[in-house]
Amino acid sequence: MTITIGEHSKAFPDQLLIFGPHDTIQMGKFSGLSVGAKVLGGGEHYLDNVANFSLRSFHLQEINEVESDIYAKGPTIIGNDVIIGVNALVISGVKIGDGAVVGAGSVVTKDVPPYAIVAGIPAKIIRYRFSEKQIKALLRIRWWDWSIEEIKEFKEYFYAGVDTFISKAFEKMKKEGRL
């Protein structure tokens, strides 16, 4: 069982659910789960079993047998700068890209691209937060990897519009030899 939460991200323990020793949830930096949101790291049931109920656990046999009644579809990965809305549910094995937004009450069953806004049951892409060109630039900038001091020094540009932010960030990175 592995749960990794990046710096400055927010989630309560009852929001990240893992069930077996191989379940994994990774959450990037500056991401957050709103009230009632849940992320599953596993707990999927084999739908071709005759009984949905875990008969092994009913008889209190070894934990290894109980765990064989459930599985994870793979690691559940939440990127950086992601917001997951109130009462949303993210199923195991899903990857939510950097900068994405999951609408309230949504059920995410498939991967979400970076900077997509998804909503519904099952969640579908409603639109993207920015243009394709802007998204590529933001993914190159990776502001969430900056130090807190850098972010504080740059804070006015976070609210000056995406094109201004990108332009100023590229200037900064070029000056620092990171481009």
* Residue 4 in this model has a pLDDT that exceeds 60: yes
Superfamily covering domain 2-128: Hexapeptide repeat proteins (2.160.10.10)
pLDDT on residue 22:
75
DSSP 52-120: SS-HHHHTT--HHHHHTTEE-SS-EEE-SS-EE-TT-EE-TT-EE-TT-EE-TT-EE-S-B-TTEEEET
pLDDT in tens, 43-64: 766 667 666 666 665 555 554 5
Catalytic-residue membership of 45: yes
8, 22, 45, 59: the active-site residue: 45
Which tokens go with 47? Answer: 């739908």
The domains of the chain are located at 2-128, 132-175
Tokens 């020094």 correspond to what residue? Answer: 153
pLDDT on residue 46:
65
Q: Residue 121: helix, strand or coil by DSSP?
A: coil
